């Protein structure tokens, strides 16, 4: 895997996955944040996020289940508390 990034002066650099993994933790977290924000920005202007057929079916199934029995849902605060239990 390599990533091409346009730079000033028409120069294009290729950054490999190995090079990215050499960044320190703070730099990698900053990169993750920037990437995530770019995904959110694109999704907010109508870009579609890629889903496999299996992912789409799972989401559709969960929506049907919620429509059929909305009282089965639990608040996020409760779900988070359950996840944090040992």
Judge whether 80 lies within some domain. no
So what's the pLDDT on residue 49? Answer: 79
Judge whether 61 lies within some domain. yes
Check pLDDT > 60 for residue 22: yes
Check pLDDT > 60 for residue 8: no
Q: How confident is the model at residue 2 (pLDDT cuts 50, 70, 90)?
A: low
The answer for residues whose C-beta is within 8 angstroms of residue 3's C-beta and 6 or more apart is 14, 15, 16, 20
- Overall domain count for the chain: 1
Report pLDDT digits (tens) over 27-71.
Answer: 999 999 999 999 999 888 888 878 899 999 999 999 999 999 999
CA 55 to chain centre: 14
pTM of the prediction? 0.49
Judge whether 77 lies within some domain. no
**Host domain of residue 63:** 24-70
């Amino acid at each position: 895997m390599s990533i091409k990034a346009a730079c000033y002066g028409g120069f294009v650099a290729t950054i490999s996955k190995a090079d990215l993994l050499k960044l320190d933790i703070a730099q990698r977290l900053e990169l993750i944040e920037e990437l995530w924000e770019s995904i959110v920005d694109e999704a907010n202007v109508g870009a579609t996020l890629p889903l496999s057929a299996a992912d789409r079916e799972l989401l559709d199934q969960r929506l049907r289940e919620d429509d059929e029995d909305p009282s089965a849902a639990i608040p996020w605060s409760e779900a988070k508390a359950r996840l944090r239990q040992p």
